[in-house]
Amino acid sequence: MITVYHLKRSRSERIAWLLEELDLDYRLEPYDRVERYAPDSFRLIHPLGRAPVIRDGDTVLAESGAIVQYILGRHAGGCLSVDSHEASYASYLYWFHYAEASLMLQLLRESTLVRIVPEVDTHPGMAKVRATTREHLDFIDQSLAGKTFIASDRFTAADIMMLFPFTTLLEFLPGTLDLARYANLRSYVAQLTARPAYIRAMDRADGPQAWRASV
């Protein structure tokens, strides 16, 4: 059985959601944050002390994207991924990795500057940073036009990777994202968060009342 070392209100939500979608048994070991971060005890599981981490037999693995790929490769039997012969394979790879490599990087760049730079909007480079965030949101919203899922004609792990920046992460980015003008993106978030497996995962990971106000 897979053990998920789960830092509450973190990317490890992705792993619980994936396992619920796959209907796999798993054990969840929850940890509360200390201020914004994982407790020191998380370093006993992985040296960097960052969530998520899983244990599967003798394998201990960190990084949410790597964990998702590992579970898909070892335990999913082809579910929730796109095979290399399918037309949407490149799209699937792109959105799966874009979520962390481009989108999360940009959102965290902006939010970090807001936190640490006094009077940040007077800084000459901040307008460009905020404009770049809007470019990402415009791009995602346009990419979702006429579509239910981001990468394929069916729900895939790319959707699992893409949702987190628009749900739980918003709690840590006050004022960074205003989704009011992005109708396609808001619809996408609404239909993903209504999935039964997502609801089960979030209820189990963070408690029924802890997450619903943010989605």
For residue 147, how far is the Cα from the chain centroid? Answer: 20
Is residue 41 predicted with pLDDT exceeding 60? yes
Per-residue pLDDT band at 175 (split at 50, 70, 90): low
The domain tally of the chain equals: 2
Quick check: helix, strand or coil at residue 45? coil
The torsion region of residue 51 among left (phi > 0), alpha (psi -120 to 50) and beta comes to: beta
Same domain, 61 and 128: no
Same domain, 97 and 68: no
Same domain, 169 and 186: yes
Same domain, 30 and 59: yes
Instruction: Tell whether 212 is covered by a domain.
Output: no
- Average pLDDT of the residues in 140-160: 98
The answer to whether the peptide bond before residue 52 is cis (omega within 30 degrees of 0) is yes
Among 81, 64, 62, which residue's Cα sits nearest to residue 21?
A: 81
Same domain, 60 and 95: no
Instruction: Tell whether 208 is covered by a domain.
Output: no
Instruction: Tell whether 156 is covered by a domain.
Output: yes
Q: What is the CATH number of the domain that holds 119?
A: 1.20.1050.10
Residue that is last in its domain, among 16, 47, 80: 80
Same domain, 75 and 93: no
- Strands 26-31 and 2-7, bridge-based pairing: parallel
- What per-residue confidence (pLDDT) applies to 202? 95
CB crowding 144-159: b at 16 or more within 10 Å, else e: beeeebbbbeebbbbb
**Cβ atoms 73, 67 nearer than 8 A:** no
Instruction: Tell whether 213 is covered by a domain.
Output: no
Residue that is last in its domain, among 46, 62, 80: 80
Q: Which of 26-35, 80-89, 205-214 has the lowest mean pLDDT?
A: 205-214
pLDDT in tens, 44-96: 999 988 899 999 999 999 999 999 999 999 999 999 999 999 999 999 999 99
Radius of gyration of the chain (CA): 17
- What per-residue confidence (pLDDT) applies to 57? 96
Q: Which of 35-49, 54-68, 181-195 has the lowest mean pLDDT?
A: 35-49
Q: What is the CATH number of the domain that holds 63?
A: 3.40.30.10
- Distance from C-alpha of 55 to C-alpha of 42, rounded to nearest angstrom: 13
Same domain, 114 and 189: yes
Instruction: Tell whether 138 is covered by a domain.
Output: yes
Residue 32 lies in domain: 2-80
Residue that is last in its domain, among 59, 80, 101: 80
pLDDT in tens, 92-118: 999 999 999 999 999 999 888 888 888
- Average pLDDT of the residues in 191-211: 87
